[in-house]
Amino acid sequence: MGSSEKTILVTGGAGFIGTHTVVQLLNDGYRVSIIDNLDNSVIEAVHRVKDLVGPELSQKLDFNLGDLRNRDDLEKLFPKTKFDAVIHFAGLKAVAESVGNPRRYFDNNLIGTINLYEVMAKYNRKKMVFSSSATVYGQPEKIPCVEDFELKAMNPYGRTKLFLEEIARDIQKAEPDWSIILLRYFNPVGAHESGKIGEDPKCCSNRGIPNNLMPYIQQVAVGRLPELNVFGHDYPTKDGSAVCSRLHPCYGLADGHIAAVRKLFSSENIGCIAYNLGTGSGTSVLEMVAAFEKASGKKIPIKLCPRRPGDATAVYASTEKAQKELGWKAKYGIAEMCKDQWKWASNNPWGYQSKP
Ligand code: UD1
């Protein structure tokens, strides 16, 4: 069966990584159904996806407002469409918020995913790609991180990803007809090269201020925030700031999901298997600031601040397994990622909304 006859359910498809992956799935000929509760995304993002892929491919996309915590929302979808696979992005991801409000994280990330498995099992749809995170390596003793490292979590958000990996392994072990691919993401930087879709966190828990580095830098560059707080300048790294591996949302993450979906359809007995989606080297926070300044031509004023609780010193990935088994490798360097992110930011200084 060609990809044109296959339908993928994408949970959280209106979000940052979701929209970029949906564009790629449609361009690759898949039909896509999104389910999203718009908790940290807006419907305008889905309109932009349609605009990007054009009227013909847009007909292969349908959007369903729904919350995975409400099983009825899933029960409405599964009987009417025979999903060939599910890509499960929906979830909360702000580390600091999870420390202050762990129940919100357990409710959204755990209950939502457990419901999803229940409904998938009921309708015998048993192929899944799950958004895991490099957070499951905690503070690794060695780098680069290899998939069979010991796993540990450093905060409630990370614990939800770790528990959900364990849940996936348990389900697949008990019911071997499941095929589950766990993708451990490193940090996405950039946006679609059109500048039409990108990261636009609502940050409702943080008075409109982004939690993650790149959306924060972006808001400083467009004048919405005065300066960047650099959390930690005394780490044992090349310049004292924390180091991690970055990849482009299209030429890293979305491509990685397409490769994972292809594997679900082309290989038997996958079991439950994890892959790093990252690069074999890391970039520091200060290097990211310099690269963004270069791409945007804007000065990013910084303030050196104490370390942020729950952050790792340096995390980057071994990508050998994904390269060998998925045929995937992240493309694009930091300069190109920053260029695309700046295009999105300068075209959309207030994200998907117009200036308030
Ligand atoms: C975190 C999670 C990661 C998750 C990602 C989701 C951990 C350890 N990491 O990534 O698993 O996938 O969120 O988006 O659970 N920084 C600043 N100033 C800022 C913001 C960030 O200096 O205003 C620094 C941080 O201290 C950190 C680095 O930038 O050292 C990257 O931070 P961030 O972009 O928030 O992502 P992670 O914490 O790496």
Give the distance (Å) from ligand 1 centre to CA of residue 139: 13
| pLDDT of amino acid 211 | 86
CA gap 151, 136 in Å, rounded: 5
In a domain? residue 324: yes
**Is the CB of 136 within 6 Å of ligand 1?**
no
Which atom of ligand 1 lies nearest, measured to the CA of 228?
23
Contacts with 310 (C-beta within 8 Å, 6 or more apart), sequence order: 95, 96, 99, 154, 155, 158
Report whether residue 134 contacts ligand 1, using a CB cutoff of 6 Å: yes
d(CA 114, CA 45): 27
Look at residue 280 and tell me if it is in a domain.
yes
Q: Which atom from ligand 1 is nearest to the alpha carbon of 231?
A: 22
**Ligand 1 neighbour 316 (Cβ under 6 A):** no
In a domain, 356, yes or no: no
CA distances from 189 to 140, 242, 332, 337 (A): 22, 16, 10, 6
Token pair in block for residue 245: 């591996």
The pLDDT, as a whole number, for residue 2 is 54
> Is 132 close to ligand 1, i.e. is its CB under 6 Å away?
no
Residue 332 lies in a domain: yes
Closest residue CA from atom 21 of ligand 1:
213
Residue 21: domain span: 7-347
Q: How far apart are CA 326 and CA 320, in angstroms?
A: 10
Probe residue for ligand 1, chosen from 98, 203, 213, 284 as the CB with the greatest number of ligand atoms within 8 Å: 213
For residue 123, give Cα distances in angstroms to 105, 116, 128, 217, 270: 27, 11, 14, 44, 20
Beta 85-88 vs 127-133: how paired, if at all? parallel
| The predicted structure's pLDDT at residue 240 | 98
pLDDT at position 19 = 98
Below-50 pLDDT ranges, the chain: 1
Residue 353 falls within a domain, yes or no? no
Residue 355 lies in a domain: no
Closest ligand 1 atom number to CA of residue 307: 26
Q: Which residue has the tokens 């540990």?
A: 152
CATH at residue 256: 3.40.50.720
- For the chain, state the CA radius of gyration: 19
Beta bridge pairs of residue 272: 180
- Given CA atoms 318, 321, 323, 328 in this order, what sign does their dihedral have? negative
Cα(1) to centroid(ligand 1), Å: 40
Taking all residues of the chain, what is their mean pLDDT, rounded to a whole number?
95
Cβ(231) – ligand 1 distance below 6 Å:
yes
Mutate to test the pocket of ligand 1, among 40, 108, 131, 135 (most ligand atoms within 8 A of CB): 135
Cα of 24 vs centre of ligand 1, distance in Å, is 26
Residue 78 CA to ligand 1 center (angstroms) comes to 35
Contact 24, 61 (CB under 8 A): no
Give the residue whose CA is nearest to atom 30 of ligand 1: 242
Q: What is the pLDDT of residues 273-282, one digit of tens each?
A: 999 999 999 9
DSSP class of residue 135 equals: G
- Structurally, the chain folds into a number of domains equal to 1
pLDDT at 5: 85
Residue labelled with tokens 């292809």: 262
Q: Which of 105, 137, 157, 185 is catalytic?
A: 157
Pocket test for ligand 1, best of 214, 311, 315 (most atoms within 8 A of CB): 311
Active-site residue flag, 30: no
Report yes or no: 327 and 259 within 8 Å, Cβ to Cβ.
yes
Q: How far is the CA of 49 from the centre of ligand 1 (A)?
A: 27
CA of 187 to the centre of ligand 1 (A): 8
The Cα 122–Cα 101 span in angstroms is 32
Closest residue (by CA) to atom 26 of ligand 1?
A: 231
Residue 166 has a pLDDT of: 98
Question: For residue 45, how far is its CA from the centre of ligand 1 (angstroms)?
Answer: 23
Alpha-carbon gap, residue 51 to 63, rounded angstroms: 14
Is 175 contained in some domain? yes
Q: Does the residue 329 lie in any domain? A: yes
